[in-house]
Amino acid sequence: MINISRLEKFYRKKKRLGPVNLHVDKGEIFGLLGPNGAGKSTLLSILATVSSPSAGKVIMKGKDITEETKAVRPLIGYVPQDIALWEEMTVKENMLFWGKMVKRKKSEEQLENLCQAVQLHGKWDEKVSRLSGGMKRKLNLAVSLIHDPEILLLDEPTVGIDLQSKFEINELIQKLARDGKTIIYITHDINEITQLCTRIGVLKNGIFLFTGTLAEAGARLQQHGYTAKNETEIIFHLLKQDYSDHEPTF
């Protein structure tokens, strides 16, 4: 569904991303992890066609995202790391506004149901500026789902969201994947990495040090003489080591 080849991004002549090669299949929840500043949001914003690559190619559902941007955009639901909402409008007005923007005719009831699905209850007529941080996150996620996109690019969508709601949202994400959506999910949350993601990629200094399942990561560690006690330990080691797909250093 998503094919990335030799993707690079420079900011003021400094390379911040790449070369990145990655394939994500339909129905996957690909977890993108790595330390602050690794390039995760940079990669996602390129995939979302919000920023352009300096080099390389991304094909989504057979379409080149740079050459066929207009055709690609409707496929994508994007939750940016920074909340993108109209603060002076109500929840309802935001949903109606973004519904119009993506040119999908959705009834008010459908839009309200979407807010319920992301656990934003009883705030339909509330101004966004009066919502809590977690509630804004929920609305940001609801907005990204309005046009029923095939690809979801989610940049730390559940940061600051209460545990119960996060649990429900994770279930929703899993359901969306079962329904055939392709999801790239940035998170620093250990539970989301182990429970939600079907495969992970560890990005450091703009390149992938590892891509695969946690079981594959565990096996790789074992080949190098380290037996992890659990998945948390595997992740800890992945992040700690200078672990390369090509040249494992441990």
Ligand X SMILES: Nc1ncnc2c1ncn2[C@@H]1O[C@H](COP(=O)(O)OP(=O)(O)OP(=O)(O)O)[C@@H](O)[C@H]1O
Residue nearest to Mg ion (CB): 41
- 94 neighbors 139 (Cβ within 8 angstroms): yes
Which of 36/164 has CB closer to ligand X? Answer: 36
What six digits make up the tokens of 43? 């990669």
Which of 39/149 has CB closer to Mg ion? Answer: 39
* Spatial distance between the Cα atoms of 15 and 236, rounded to a whole number of angstroms: 26
Burial environment of residue 167 by CB neighbours within 10 A (0 to 12, 13 to 18, 19 or more): middle
State the CB neighbour count (10 A cutoff) for residue 127.
15
Q: Could you give the angle at the alpha carbon of 235 between the alpha carbons of 232 and 239, nearest 5°?
A: 140
Applying CB under 6 A, does 54 fall inside the site for ligand X?
A: no
Applying CB under 6 A, does 158 fall inside the site for ligand X?
A: no
CB of 197 to Mg ion, least distance (A): 16
Applying CB under 5 A, does 165 fall inside the site for Mg ion?
A: no
- 30 neighbors 185 (Cβ within 8 angstroms): yes
What six digits make up the tokens of 23? 């394939």
Given 1, 39, 41, 197, the residue binding Mg ion (CB under 5 A) = 41
Residues 6+ away with beta carbon under 8 Å from 202: 33, 34, 208, 209, 210, 211, 238, 239, 243
Q: Give the total of residues touching ligand X (CB under 6 A).
A: 11
With CB cut-offs between 5 and 8 Å by kind, which of Mg ion, ligand X, none does residue 141 bind?
A: none
State the binding string over 6-35 for ligand X (x if CB under 6 A, else -). -----x----x-----------------x-
Applying CB under 6 A, does 82 fall inside the site for ligand X?
A: no
With CB cut-offs between 5 and 8 Å by kind, which of ligand X, Mg ion, none does residue 119 bind?
A: none
Which of 31/39 has CB closer to ligand X? Answer: 39
State the CB neighbour count (10 A cutoff) for residue 164.
9
- 115 neighbors 95 (Cβ within 8 angstroms): yes
Applying CB under 5 A, does 42 fall inside the site for Mg ion?
A: no
With CB cut-offs between 5 and 8 Å by kind, which of Mg ion, ligand X, none does residue 204 bind?
A: none
What six digits make up the tokens of 114? 């979407």
With CB cut-offs between 5 and 8 Å by kind, which of ligand X, Mg ion, none does residue 220 bind?
A: none
CB of 187 to ligand X, least distance (A): 10
Q: 3-class DSSP state for residue 177? A: helix
* Spatial distance between the Cα atoms of 224 and 41, rounded to a whole number of angstroms: 31
Applying CB under 6 A, does 42 fall inside the site for ligand X?
A: yes
E strand or H helix at 114, and its extent?
helix 108-117
CB of 42 to ligand X, least distance (A): 3
Applying CB under 6 A, does 81 fall inside the site for ligand X?
A: yes
Would you tell me which residues interact with ligand X (CB under 6 A)? 11, 16, 34, 36-42, 81
Enumerate binding residues for Mg ion (CB under 5 A): 40-41, 81
